[in-house]
Amino acid sequence: MVPEALSGEVIDLRLSPPPVEIGVLIDPLSVLMAIVVSVIGLFVTIFSSGYMHDDPSLTRFWFIMQLFISGYVLLVLADNFLLMFIGWEIVGLCCTYLTSFEYKKRKKAHLGLKVNNILRVGDVGLLIFILALYAYSNPHTFNFVELSKDDNLIIQLSRSGLLLVISLMFLGGVVGKAAQFPLHEWLPDMLVGTPSSSNALTECLAGPYLMARALPIFREAYVSGFNELSHFFLAVAWVGAITGFVAALTATAQRHPQRVMAYSISSVIGYMLTALGLAGLNSSMTSGYLAGTIILTIDAFVSALLILSTVFVSYAVRSEDLYNMRGFRSRLVHRGMEIAVFAMINVPPFSGFWLSNWVQTLALELTNRTYEYGQEILVRSGYGLFTLLILTGGVSAFYGLRLMGLIFSKGSLRKNVREVPKSMRISFSGLLLVTAILDISVPLLIPVFNGFFLPVVREMIFPSVFEVLIYIIPSISTVMTIIALLIGGYISHQLYISHKIDPEEVMKKFPFLTKIHAFLLNRCYIDALYYKVAYHAIGLSRSLYKGVEMEGIKMFRIRGINEFFDISVRWLSSLSRWIYPSIELGCFEKFNQRVVESVTKISGRMREVQTGVLSYNMLMMLFGTIMLALLLFMFGGGYAGAHL
């Protein structure tokens, strides 16, 4: 192109309009989430610099961590589904990388594969949703802001019957990433596999974030009369509530602290999804949406604190078994765990109490619907969800206190407690401070949140802390929550803290408890079910290969065709082997040789003419002259050069 540039031409090369316009969306939700991610990312990074200081492959670790954080931020700040999906996949990929971080251990490499496969199930659903949405929308309006205004899109989707299907696909994507039932089994594996310090950056929160992000779009459609979406919202709420209960139950029997963490995260995310699902169903979206987002924010910190404190303990005692941690002493960790666990198990006045009551109130709100046709299921669901959430609260109290009891109660701790690096202490106490402030001040924060989210929810239902108290406290839910807390907490206290009852003896006394314990310890056999499915899928493909591909096709083979091919191939190659010597070498080459030989022979003969005897030469010259004259005479002139 240099010559063109020298001669002053201007070459204008441009890309044609891109299929998608990409951009960054800054709205209350994305800013909030970006702050949460980057603040926790900071603490985790500082914490890890101490935790990982003697790891041989640090470069890889930091590369993955930073890629993780940047992928997360991309996910949060993207302004359309496709760009978000890129961040989503980066985060998913980093999960796999981190799980198989110690890839030389066969088990961890295997866990990475499993995490990747389960995540993929949800991602496929999400991708189908995104592509269907893309197919029905205009590339220029394919972003979150415009999509919610695009009525035409929903009308088209509803007409083609896809609306409910793809919204359930979307739910599948969220369920996969948020580790919800039945796709929640990847999270315990991942948390066990990764270098533990990185767990605190809970990628699962991307799931409820996406749900909160897309909720206004679905809600808009639901309000404008597309009633089939009520099934979608119900599914969201039920998935959340069931996960909350199942995960909490499973957590009660686990011995690996990271596994307990994983189930507790799944359980809390269940609350978020329930809140968001109820936000879609209730007469006003505001309350549920606020509940979902505020749990999302607070829990990000609470879970991070909880995880870091268990990691702290495992680092110090060099063990990953709760039963080896008995008798651990550290005031810092004790305070951190108290704040986190009390928040989780709904002890007033910590955050969990307010927030889970809020969600339960939302569920009760659903029961206020009149018994009209089609509303019945909503009312029943309201009661069902409420009951399930109360039960979850009780179970959470049990396993939360069990966790604390196992770690801090009197016990015979092995003496060699490791010195914990300073950077871990500093970042832990920093996170503790931030979480404690957030945790205690939740009722005060709710009005702030409402103001902050005003552009999204468009109404101010909590102008001050009094409205919050009036909304949450005077309800059956508060009473039930505290009763559940007391029951769960009392049992746990008797078993694990005051040691009045020995769990082993109880189990011996009631054999059915042993069965339940085994059932829960084995993670409700969901994990085993997946292995079974994978095993049978591989078996099926093997038998298909053997039966159909290898044997079955043969049955349909027409007899003789094979032989025909064999014979013709053999014939062809023998033909070529025959032609090459006989025709190529025998004819063509021999002909060439003959030409060469005969020319040589003739020229040898002719050489004898070149005698140098003058008289011969004169004779030949005379002959030539006569021939020339004859030719001239016969053909005459006139032709040569006629056309020149």
Partner 1 sequence: MIPHTALLATIVPGLFGVIIYIVQKYVGKFIGWISTAVASLSLVLILSMIKPVVDSYNNGQNSLVFVYPWISPIDINFGFLIDMVSFPVGFIIALVSTLSCLYSVKYMENEPNQASYYANLLIFMTGMIGVVFSLNLIQFYLFWELMLIPSYLLIAQWGTSRRRLSIGFKYFIFTHMGALFMLLGILSIFSYTATFDLTELPSRSSSISPSMAPVISILLLLGFFVKMAVFPFHTWLPDAHSEAPTPISAMLSGVMIKCGAYGIGRILLTIFSQRMVQTSDYLLTLGIITMIYGGLMALAQTDIKRLLAYSSISQMGYIVFGFSTVSTLGVMGSLLHIINHAVCKALLFMCAGSIIHQTGTRSIRKMSGLITKMPVTSFASLIGIFSLAGAPPLNAFWSEWMIFGGGLAAEKPAFTFLGVASTMITAGYLLWFAWRVFFGPLPKRLKDVEESPPLLLVPIITLASISVILGLWPGLMLGFIAPAAEFLSSFKGS
**Residues in contact with partner 1 by the rule CB under 8 A:** 2-4, 7, 11, 569, 572-573, 575-577, 579-580, 584, 588-589, 592, 643-644
Nearest approach in angstroms of CB 568 to partner 1 is: 10
Shortest distance, position 76 Cβ to partner 1, whole Å: 36
Which H/E stretch holds residue 71?
helix 58-77
Alpha helices, DSSP H, located in 225-369: 229-251, 257-281, 285-317, 331-344, 351-366
CA angle 212, 217, 218 (to 5 degrees): 85
We find the least distance from the C-beta atom of residue 82 to partner 1, in angstroms, to be: 24
The helix/strand count (H/E) of the chain reads as 28, 0
What's the closest the beta carbon of residue 569 comes to partner 1, in angstroms?
Answer: 8
Closest distance to partner 1 from the beta carbon of 584 (Å): 6
Closest distance of CB 572 from partner 1, Å: 7
Q: How far is the CB of 643 from partner 1 (least distance, A)?
A: 5
* Cβ-based neighbours of 126, under 8 Å, separated by 6 or more: 85, 88, 169, 170, 172, 173, 174, 176, 177
The phi-psi region of residue 211 (left if phi > 0; otherwise alpha if psi is between -120 and 50; otherwise beta) is: alpha
Sequential DSSP letters for 138-155? -GGG-SHHHHTT-HHHHH
Spatial contact of 406 and 323, defined as CB atoms under 8 Å apart: yes
DSSP 488-504: HHHHHIIIIIS--S-HH
User: For partner 1, which is the closer residue by CB, 8 or 511?
Assistant: 8
Instruction: Please state, in angstroms and rounded to a whole number, the distance separating the CA atoms of residues 494 and 4.
Output: 87
Backbone angles phi, psi at 221, to 5 degrees: -65, -40
- Contacts with 28 (C-beta within 8 Å, 6 or more apart), sequence order: 452, 453, 455, 456
Amino acid identity of residue 13, one-letter, is L
CA 267 to chain centre: 19
CB 2 to partner 1: min, Å: 8
Residue 343 · residue 351 · CB < 8 Å? yes
Burial (CB < 10 A; 0-12, 13-18, 19+), residue 89, is: middle
DSSP β-bridge partners for residue 24: 78
Whether 288 contacts 275, CB under 8 Å? yes
Q: Are 142 and 232 in contact (CB under 8 A)?
A: no
Taking the complex as a whole, how short is the minimal distance between the CB of residue 591 and partner 1, in angstroms?
Answer: 8
The H-or-E segment that residue 556 falls in is helix 553-556
| 243: its two tokens | 């996960």
Return the number of the residue (528 or 569) whose C-beta is nearest partner 1. 569
CB closer to partner 1 out of 418 and 643: 643
What span, in angstroms and rounded, lies between the C-alpha atoms of 44 and 63? 14
Least distance to partner 1 from the beta carbon of 554, Å?
Answer: 23
Are residues 463 and 286 in contact, defined by beta-carbon separation less than 8 angstroms?
Answer: no
Which residue, 152 or 576, is less far from partner 1 as judged by CB? 576
CB of residue 639 to partner 1, shortest distance in Å = 10
Q: How far apart are CA 178 and CA 168, in angstroms?
A: 15
Nearest to 403 by CA among 348, 323, 329, 481: 323
Give whichever of 231 and 570 is closer to partner 1, judged by the CB atom.
Answer: 570
Please report where in the chains the tokens 């979902």 appear, as a residue: 292
Do 270 and 296 contact (CB within 8 A), yes or no?
Answer: no
Minimum distance, C-beta of residue 576 to partner 1, in the bound complex (Å): 4
Helix (H, G, I), strand (E, B) or coil at 78: strand
Smallest distance from the beta carbon of 562 to partner 1, in angstroms? 16
